[in-house]
């Protein structure tokens, strides 16, 4: 009986954990998808299902996790560059004595003026909180100023300078620059988390600890919230499958050009004409034949110097 009870508890715990994971994936996927649809200006035309939200939420964590692993590996490599020479010095008798003496002198000075060292470290962390973290918040909020990318271009006066740059990168297919900007956001988010952990440990026995920690919590929460939103703009590629079709309606069959399939349901097809730069709607029951090809970018990458435009 005890074994059955323990098994039931474990199944209940596992079910709750899986439900929590699914809810997190769904929430992040919803943010990613809706942010990109708002960016394109077709959020009213393209409703998405629960499975699609879960898929995009999973993609967000996979892509972000891969980029995060690169950053962590870089930090580990940098740490090894510093630690390996120190460990080699520590193996020699002379080097070991020097490191031991330096360590004792540092600890002695720290214990003698502990409050002064802690205050100095806190002051440095406050400076780092405002620069680069708070100072660069406008850069990472800029992509969310862009809307209706598939439709009429926004006036330059309606966008900040940073938002104008991101819009240009999106419409010219500069994926490398978009990747770099998202990586910057990820590094800023990690750095904000590092400062938060450090200030928590530093002020663990201080009065008014919550008051000192609050700005660090706020900045970290803002960057964490911006991650899925910026992912939907900077990392989720704006591409849809190419499509060719034959319709039972003569006017529909006469439509030709570089068409991409934005969305398909049992009742309708929503296409994007890249040449005309407009969305087309067709009833699904009028389609006799539809050929769906590979996914293609909506915006063509700008050619490099000396390269022909095709």
Structural domain contains residue 89: yes
CB-CB contact of 291 with 245 (8 Å): yes
Structural domain contains residue 259: yes
**Least confident segment among 109-118, 157-166, 247-256, 300-309:** 300-309
CA pair distance 293, 296, nearest whole angstrom = 9
| pLDDT band at 249; cut points 50, 70, 90 | low
Counting residues of the chain whose pLDDT is more than 70, the rounded percentage is: 80
Structural domain contains residue 209: yes
pLDDT per position as a tens digit, 131-157: 999 999 999 999 999 988 887 665 666
Cβ within 8 Å of residue 2, ≥6 positions away:
none
pLDDT at 246 over 70: no
Whether residue 149 sits in one domain with residue 114? yes
**Least confident segment among 25-34, 96-105, 144-153, 155-164:** 96-105
The DSSP call for residue 46 is -
The structure tokens listed for 137 are: 């918040």
pLDDT per position as a tens digit, 201-227: 988 888 888 898 999 999 999 999 999
Whether residue 254 sits in one domain with residue 221? no
What DSSP line would sit under 79-111, residue for residue? Answer: HHHHHHHHHHHHHSHHHHHHHHHHHHHHHHHHH
Number of neighbouring beta carbons within 10 Å of residue 158: 12
Whether residue 215 sits in one domain with residue 266? no
Structural domain contains residue 193: yes
CATH of residue 272's domain is 2.30.30
Whether residue 107 sits in one domain with residue 73? yes
Note down the domain range covering 206. 36-232
């Amino acid at each position: 009986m005890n074994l059955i009870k323990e098994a039931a508890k474990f199944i209940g715990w596992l079910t709750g954990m899986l439900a929590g994971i699914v809810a997190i994936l769904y929430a992040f996927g919803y943010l990613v998808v809706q942010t990109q649809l708002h960016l394109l200006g077709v959020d009213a035309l393209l409703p998405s299902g629960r499975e699609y939200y879960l898929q995009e939420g999973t993609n967000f964590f996979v892509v972000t996790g891969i980029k995060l692993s690169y950053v962590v590996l870089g930090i580990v490599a940098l740490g090894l560059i510093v630690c390996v020479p120190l460990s080699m010095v520590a193996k020699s008798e002379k080097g070991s004595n020097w490191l031991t003496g330096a360590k004792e002198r540092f600890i002695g000075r720290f214990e003698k003026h502990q409050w002064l060292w802690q205050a100095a470290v806190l002051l440095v962390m406050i400076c780092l909180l405002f620069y680069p973290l708070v100072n660069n918040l406008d850069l990472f909020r800029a992509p969310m100023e862009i809307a209706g990318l598939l439709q009429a271009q926004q006036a330059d006066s309606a966008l900040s300078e940073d938002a104008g740059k991101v819009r240009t990168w999106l419409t010219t297919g500069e994926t490398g620059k978009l990747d770099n900007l998202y990586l910057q956001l990820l590094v800023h988010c990690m750095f904000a988390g590092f400062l938060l952990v450090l200030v928590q440990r530093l002020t663990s026995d201080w009065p008014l600890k919550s008051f000192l920690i609050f700005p660090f919590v706020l900045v970290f929460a803002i960057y964490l919230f911006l991650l899925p939103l910026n992912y939907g703009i900077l990392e989720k590629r704006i591409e849809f499958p190419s499509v060719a079709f034959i319709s039972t309606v003569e006017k529909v069959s006469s439509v030709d050009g570089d068409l991409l399939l934005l969305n398909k349901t049992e009742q309708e097809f929503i296409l994007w004409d890249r040449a005309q730069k407009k969305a087309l709607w067709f009833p699904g029951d009028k389609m006799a034949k539809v050929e769906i090809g590979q996914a293609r970018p909506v915006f063509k990458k700008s050619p490099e110097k000396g390269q022909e435009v095709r």
